[in-house]
């Protein structure tokens, strides 16, 4: 491998890394949802927490992104909302990720 080829490879890796960071940031921004006047992040942790709590109780409290308590009165509806937004963002991220592979 020549120095020129090495630089080209390194540049490409760097570009992909920056593009990946930007795409992830975009997904994370999109994962913020409002529910009962509180903000939540539709990430794996929130989904697992809501799913687990909903299996044990009909209503329960969770902390929002600012650590304020929020009572969840309709767990099924909230869980659906979280999963829908989570998958929407990851689907968009996956499409961008495919373009990285082709580069």
- Residue ranges in contact with another protein by CB under 8 A: 11, 14-15, 17-19, 21-22, 25-26, 28-30, 32-34, 37-39, 41, 65-66, 92
Question: Smallest distance from the beta carbon of 3 to another protein, in angstroms?
Answer: 17
In the complex, the smallest distance separating the C-beta of residue 94 from another protein, rounded to whole angstroms, is 14
Q: Of 41 and 60, which CB lies nearer to another protein in the complex structure?
A: 41
Beta strand ranges found along 1-103 (DSSP E): 32-35, 38-41, 60-63, 69-72
Distance CA 49, CA 91 (A): 22
Which residue, 2 or 29, is less far from another protein as judged by CB?
A: 29
- Residue 53 C-beta-side C-alpha neighbours within 13 Å: 20
**CB of residue 55 vs another protein: minimum separation in angstroms?**
27
Distance CA 79, CA 70 (A): 14
């Amino acid at each position: 491998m020549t120095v020129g080829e090495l630089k080209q490879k390194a540049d490409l890796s760097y570009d992909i890394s920056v593009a990946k960071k930007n795409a992830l940031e975009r997904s994370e921004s999109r994962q913020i949802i409002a529910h009962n006047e509180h903000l939540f992040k539709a990430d794996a942790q929130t989904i697992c927490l809501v799913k687990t709590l909903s299996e044990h109780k009909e209503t329960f409290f969770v902390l929002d992104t600012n650590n304020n308590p929020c009572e969840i009165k309709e767990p099924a509806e909230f869980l659906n909302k979280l999963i829908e937004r989570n998958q929407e963002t990851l689907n968009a991220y996956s499409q961008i990720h495919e373009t990285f592979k082709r580069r």
